[in-house]
Amino acid sequence: MASPDLKSRVLASVAAIPAPTRGELLRRQAWLIAAGIAGALSVFWMAGGVRVTARPPSLVAWTGLGTACFTGAGMWFLFRRGRTGLRRGWASVLVATIVSTVAFVLWRHGLGDLYQLAGPWPDRTGYRCFAVSVATGGILLGAALLAWRRVDPVTPRLTGAAFGAGAGLASALLVDLWCPVFYVPHLLLGHVLPIAVLATAGAAIGAGALGAGRRAARARTP
C-alpha cells in the first residue's frame, strides 16, 4: 500500500503537468490531423497521384469505392470505444484490421480477375507500392501520435497500434488509386505489409508518446 506521503507527491507531480483546455486540445488535434492529411496527399501526388494506366475507368472507380468502404468500416471499428469509454481490446483491433484487409485484397483481386487484369507483373513486385504506402501512412501516423501526445496514459500501446492500422488502411486507399496491379503476391507485399508495419510502429512509438505524461509523473516521484 502506498503511503499518504507518496500519494501526495504523485498527485502533486501530476498537477504540475500543464493541461490544455478541451477547446485547445481539439483545435490542436484538428490542425495536426489536417496537416497530416495534407502531407500524405502531397506525397501521393508527387508519386503520380491517381493513375489510370491500362485500367478501364470503371475498374478504377469500382476498386476505389470498395476499398473506401472497407477501410472506412475498419477505421470505424478501430477507433470505436466500448461502453466504459475506454478503447476496445487488442482482439478488436486485430480483428478489425484483418477483416478489412482481407476484404480489400479479395475485392481488388476479384475485380481485376473479372477484367482479366489479375495476372503477375514481373517488373512490379510491390516495393514501390510498399514505399508509397509507408510514406503516406507514416505521415498520417505521426500526425495522429502528435495530436494525441500525452493524452492516453491508460492504453498507449493499444491506441498507437489502432492509429498505425488506421493510417495503413488510409494509405491503402491512396495507393489503390495509384497502383494498376491486381496480382495477390504484389498486393500482400505492397499494400498489406505496410499496414502491419505501421500498426507495429504505432504500438512501439505510442507507448512513449501517448503515455509520456504518466511516466513523467513517475520519474519525478522520489
Does 142 map to a domain?
Answer: yes
Does 121 map to a domain?
Answer: yes
Q: What is the pLDDT of residue 9?
A: 61
| C-alpha cell belonging to residue 62 | 469500382
Does 17 map to a domain?
Answer: no
Is the separation of the CB atoms in 70 and 100 below 8 Å?
yes
The set of residues, in sequence order, having a beta carbon less than 8 Å from that of 125 and lying 6+ positions away, is 185, 186, 189, 190
- Give me the DSSP letters along 13-29: HHHHS----HHHHHHHH
Q: What is the pLDDT of residue 51?
A: 85
Does 25 map to a domain?
Answer: no
AA letter at 58: S
**Three-state secondary structure readout of 168-219:** HHHHHHHHHHHCCCCCHHHHHHHHHHHHHHHHHHHHHHHHHHCCHHHHHHHH
What is the spatial distance between Cα 136 and Cα 11, in angstroms, rounded to a whole number? 40
Q: What is the pLDDT of residue 137?
A: 94
Q: What is the pLDDT of residue 30?
A: 87
Q: What is the mean pLDDT of each run of 10 residues along the chain (222 residues)?
A: 58 58 75 91 90 87 91 85 67 89 93 90 89 95 86 79 91 91 94 94 85 48 42
Q: What is the pLDDT of residue 10?
A: 57
What's the predicted TM-score (pTM) here?
0.79
| C-alpha cell belonging to residue 130 | 510498399
| C-alpha cell belonging to residue 58 | 470503371
| C-alpha cell belonging to residue 22 | 478541451
Q: What is the pLDDT of residue 91?
A: 86
In terms of residue numbers, what domain contains 122? 33-220
48-72 pLDDT, tens digit per residue, is 888 888 789 999 999 999 999 998 9
Q: What is the pLDDT of residue 134?
A: 95
Does 62 map to a domain?
Answer: yes
Does 152 map to a domain?
Answer: yes
Indicate the number of domains in the chain.
1
Does 172 map to a domain?
Answer: yes
